Chains A and B, each alone.
Chain A
Amino acid sequence: TQLLEQSPQFLSIQEGENLTVYCNSSSVFSSLQWYRQEPGEGPVLLVTVVTGGEVKKLKRLTFQFGDARKDSSLHITAAQPGDTGLYLCAGPAGGGTSYGKLTFGQGTILTVHP
């Protein structure tokens, strides 16, 4: 079974601070996705990383996929209150009976205070 360990689980910071969320596994993933979710809403896709060593930027958000495709990170620069939400990493669970399933990390609840 492929697992994704996401850390930290909770993050409470002031506006303007930087932060990093980690998503680690002992298994290789063909791709990893990062989602952001607000209370009562569905997860919104932020990015998909596919290539080992890949770095993608989305405004103040920087996503990295590890060289071995076993880990990923999300870095937010100068966080704003609008960044508040639940951040989820996820990846395809593999073949066999897991085909079609998505493995999720436990999630990181980020609160950015004005």
Chain B
Amino acid sequence: DTEVTQTPKHLVMGMTNKKSLKCEQHMGHRAMYWYKQKAKKPPELMFVYSYEKLSINESVPSRFSPECPNSSLLNLHLHALQPEDSALYLCASSQGATDTQYFGPGTRLTVL
């Protein structure tokens, strides 16, 4: 089973709202990732967690706050977002940091 799940599928929020995106995998993978993707473009890396520790932050604004409660779960907390943050947010996982990444179905985020 190579499934990564993400909730919610769609999210609409105002600029003053606080919301969270959730990602889960049960493949025993030790690396998990958050990406942001604009239409018809490749995904852009935001954060990498390796063994539940944040190993890469690609200079992401502090209004995005990642959290890895355990080896199967990854959250992305959102606060005071801007309309330009509207995008498809993808979670991925891999056995190790250089192994094949498996992506979830994504959360379509719209910021009004």
Q: Residues on A close to B: CB < 8 A?
A: 30-31, 33, 35, 39-45, 48, 86, 88, 90, 92, 99-102, 104-107, 109
Contacts and interface: CB of A to CB of B under 8 A. Distances in A.
A41 B90 CA distance: 9
Contacts of A40: 88, 106, 108
Contact of A42 (B42, B98, B106): B106
Contacts of B55: 99-100
B111 interface: no
Contacts of B40: 86, 107, 109
Nearest to A86: B40
Interface in B4-25: 4, 6
B101 interface: yes
B83 interface: no
A52 B70 CA distance: 37
Contacts of A105: 42
Contact of A100 (B4, B56, B100, B104): B56
B56 A101 contact: yes
B90 A100 contact: no
Given A101-B45, A101-B48, A107-B42, A43 B100 contact: no
